[in-house]
Amino acid sequence: MAVVEELIRIEENGTISFGNYKLEEKSKKSDFEFKGDLYKVKTCKEITKLERNGLFVYESVPGTAVNSFKVENGGVSFEVESDQNAQITVELEESTEYVMYLDGVNAGSMTTNLSGKLSLSVPASNGTTVVKIVKE
């Protein structure tokens, strides 16, 4: 997996990929249409943030590259890459319990807060980490 040079793109499998953690300065792309929604991405080595129709979807500190991002059945799945440990926050349903899987291994369950945000840490690796968050 590599950074997304065009900042955001649609993949052949019907998902989106976004983010470039190798950029020194913040770059953004707005009004990217995907399945009737408008997306905005801001990314650099310090942060990667994704919004859909002006609402929060994803944020990582430091920045990451995200491939095959897919929201389905109340959960989310994606592949993430960074050259540092990353703190990731995603928007899901409020006050709902989810199970997190990192590279197919159960990493435990968490309940979202009243705003529906769920945070997790992903260690830096020599490749990608597959993240899957499913509603219990």
Dihedral (Cα; 78, 27, 6, 20), 10-degree rounding? -40
Burial pattern 82-119, b for ≥16 Cβ within 10 A else e, equals beeebebebbbeeeeebebbbeeeebeebebeeeeebe
Mean pLDDT value across residues 44-51 = 97
pLDDT > 80? residue 94: yes
Using a pLDDT cut of 90, give the percent of the chain over it. 88
HEC profile of 54-111: CEEEEEEECCCEEEEEEEECCEEEEEEECCCCEEEEEECCCCCEEEEEECCEEEEEEE
Which run of H or E residues covers position 49?
strand 48-52
Q: How confident is the model at residue 74 (pLDDT cuts 50, 70, 90)?
A: confident
Q: For residues 44 and 56, what is the distance between their CA atoms, to the nearest angstrom?
A: 17
- pLDDT for residue 133: 97
Instruction: Give pLDDT, residue 116.
Output: 95
* 60 against 123, higher pLDDT: 60
Cα gap 65→74, rounded to integer Å:
22
Domains contained in the chain, CATH given: 8-135 (2.60.40)
Phi-psi region at 22: left, alpha or beta (left = phi > 0; alpha = psi -120 to 50): alpha
- 50 vs 136, higher pLDDT: 50
Give me the mean pLDDT over the 48-68 stretch: 97
User: Is the bond preceding 123 in cis, omega lying within 30 degrees of 0?
Assistant: no
